[in-house]
Structure 1
């Protein structure tokens, strides 16, 4: 045994302190390391660069609705109607997604109030198979719209999706006209339908209920579009402008009514509900 080893073993080293894995979070935009608690207290918005991070359905509902809201039961639909399989079976992908989520699919609906104004809120969760729109998402959207019709109140939908769910083929695309019909019924009933576009909102969701609202609100920096930038650029054979398909660009060009920071969403919704349905607020 060398003298260095003997000395090292004789020193009273303290045991190495263990650091929790979730103590820090890295901002996906500026790469700044942030305390997780500080980040969450700031509504998952980076205090350094104001990047609005992606959040789950339960967190979003708690931020938008007053305390005491009620989750609506998830609708039952036929799973794996096409017996789809790629590198994995569709049923296995659903099991994996549900193991990491408290909800059975990507769209969750709750009934409650926003600063005292009655409202139904539907939230799309990108962490569940990219928020993809399948039959369960379409049926949940319809359920939320029907509840708003029954309660004579506004319907607010928070979108976050990569598009239609390919594992359900044409059946997923049929959710687009189904949702469109419900937005028409809300309009005929004189009930507000407000859409909050979050990062990312793309594909068939953008081509249907995401762009049929009476008012369209976007979170800062949110990616919003139908086809991807590379597809568009290759098609038109031109370079796209800086910030293309981002919330601020769409607001400047009239596709989005307002860009609102997450901390101001609730009070903005309350003001809009007062304006769009004043009788209900009285």
Structure 2
């Protein structure tokens, strides 16, 4: 089980919606990152925010075909410390499919159709405008067994936000979700993949689990869509055990390619799992 955050590396950076932020200046990053098992998390004591760094850290990595990315130990330890995930059980051929939903671009219905036909669970990380403005799609996600994840009310950089702002962004969205749909949000994906020690700790103290990702590609740019075949090539060679796959639902290519992506994964022996099945 890995609970890891990955350093932004020059040449092949992957982030959610924007470029990652630099790592803490005081941290020494080894030339060669080592991909090791992070410690299994135990019950967390009451969280103290005293002395925690507010230095922004970005989430990005160099992709590796057929295996999880390598990461510096200091990032592994930071994520594990605050109960966050980027990867599932690497001893199992399992994939956790997640989508970020900042706004609706007309493709989520097709994505849901494909998931239903293939009987695949997914998590949809939504923002405030999406939660309130796309009622029919949200209700369908819930009714078809998918997870609604918290992508904040207004999509701010949480690493640059104060404690109260983080609370307002996360709890504000969760309260709206409870009022509108009668369900609780358990998982948070920080916008842009940006975090600090303190933002992770505040998120955990509010009762949420941070979920990042172990594979993504530049799919969020609606002006750069290279076709379904390209989407398949960007995803399928990089399947790995315990993968948390991030796709953006605004992508026309993703919607068209999703069925082939699912079929390819299953042909390679992978099963699709819900985030609720992550080992805690």
Length-normalised TM-score, structure 2? 0.31
Structure with bigger RCO (C-alpha 8 Å, 6+ apart): 2
More helix by share: 1
Length-normalised TM-score, structure 1? 0.31
More strand by share: 1
